[in-house]
Amino acid sequence: MRTFVINMQTAKERLKFMDKQLSSLWIEYEVFPAFIWKNLTKEEIWKYYDKEKSIETLWEELTLWEIWCALSHMWIYKKMVDDNIPIALVLEDDAVINPKIKEIYDKIWKKKIEQLNSYFDYMTMNYSLINFEKFINYVKSVTKKFINERKIFKLIIYLVGSLVFFILDQLFNTIGNVFWPIIVPKYKPLYLTWWYFITLNWAKKLLWVNDKIFVQADLIQELFYKKIWLKFWCVFPLLVKQNEVFKPQITWRDNLNLNKNISFEE
C-alpha cells in the first residue's frame, strides 16, 4: 500500500520519530514534502486560495499556515489521481501510533480493490467524536457568534448536542478498549488528519469540489461528506494521537493566528 508521511525537509526529528514507529510495524513509506508556508509567493496564494469563500464558510480568512497544510493534503490526492493509486495511507509527521494499528492496516491491505471501493472512501484511525481541546475552543467561537447574533436558543441546542457527543465519544472508546477493535461507519467525520486511509474514488471527488483551498485540511472531509456521499469509517478506540513534544505550546486558534497579519490585498 502506498504510504505517505507529510514532512518538511527541515523537520528531521519528526521524520526520525515517524521512521522509528513505521519501521517497527514493517510499514514501508514515502516522504511527501510538505508545502512550506514561508515560501508561498503572493501569486501562489491567489492561485490556490479562495479568500471570499473562506470568509463565507469560516467567518474569517485562512492563515498561510492553514493554506500550506491543506495544500499538502490536496497534492497527495492529486498524486493519487495522476499515478492511479487505488488506495493510500496518509500520515502527518507528529502522529503517535498504537502498535495494535497494524492489525487494521493488514486487514485493509488484504482486500481486493473492488472490495475497497464498496467498503469505504475514507477511514481514520484517530477518530474521536470530540477532541476536547478543539471542542472547547470551537464552543467558545460558536458561543461568541450566537451571542453576537442574539441566537440564545440555538446556542443552548448546540451546547446540549455537543455535550451528548462528548459522552458518546467516551462510551465508544471504553467499549472499543474492551472489544478490540471496533470498525464502524460514522455519519460524519471530524477534524483530525494525523492518520487516514483514502481511496482513489474519494480523492477524485475532493479535487472536483475543492479546486481552491478555502477550509483547513481537517475540515475538508467534514464539509463535503453530504455533497459527494462519503462512505466514512473509523476505528475505536482512538489509536493515533498527536505527539505532545512536537505540539506548539500555544492554543489551537492562537497557533493559526500567528500569521494573521499577512496581507492578501491585490
Q: What is the pLDDT along the chain (266 residues), one digit of tens a residue?
A: 899 999 988 889 999 999 999 999 999 999 998 877 666 677 777 888 888 888 888 888 888 778 888 888 999 999 999 999 999 999 999 899 988 888 888 878 777 666 666 678 888 876 665 556 666 777 777 777 778 877 788 778 877 877 777 777 777 767 766 776 677 777 666 667 888 899 998 899 888 877 788 888 877 777 776 666 777 877 777 778 878 777 654 333 344 444 444 444 43
- Residue-level pLDDT at 85: 94
- Residue-level pLDDT at 130: 57
Q: Do 111 and 105 touch, CB atoms closer than 8 A?
A: no
Name all domains of the chain by residue range, CATH numbers in brackets. 2-128+180-256 (3.90.550)
- Residue-level pLDDT at 131: 58
Report residue 259: phi and psi, to 5°: -110, 25
Q: What residues contact 79, with CB distance under 8 A and at least 6 apart?
A: 32, 85
Helix (H, G, I), strand (E, B) or coil at 174: helix
- Residue-level pLDDT at 116: 64
- Residue-level pLDDT at 113: 60
Q: Name the β-bridge partners of 213.
A: 49
- Residue-level pLDDT at 4: 96
Amino acid 130 reads I
State how far the Cα of 192 lies from the Cα of 25, in Å rounded to an integer: 22
Following DSSP, what letter does each residue of 79-127 receive, concatenated? HHHHHT-SEEEEEETTEEE-TTHHHHHHHHHTS-HHHHHHH-SEEESS-
Helix pair angle (200-209, 64-83), 10° resolution: 130
- Residue-level pLDDT at 266: 38
Element (H, E) at 217: none
DSSP letter at 130?
-
Strand ordering across the sheet containing 232-236 = 30-33, 2-7, 87-92, 195-199, 122-124, 232-236, 182-185
- Residue-level pLDDT at 112: 64
245 grid coordinates: 513534544
The Cβ of residue 211 has, within 10 Å, a number of other Cβ atoms equal to: 10
* Alpha-carbon radius of gyration of the chain: 19
229: left (phi over 0), alpha (psi -120 to 50) or beta: left
- Residue-level pLDDT at 178: 72
Q: Name the β-bridge partners of 123.
A: 197, 233
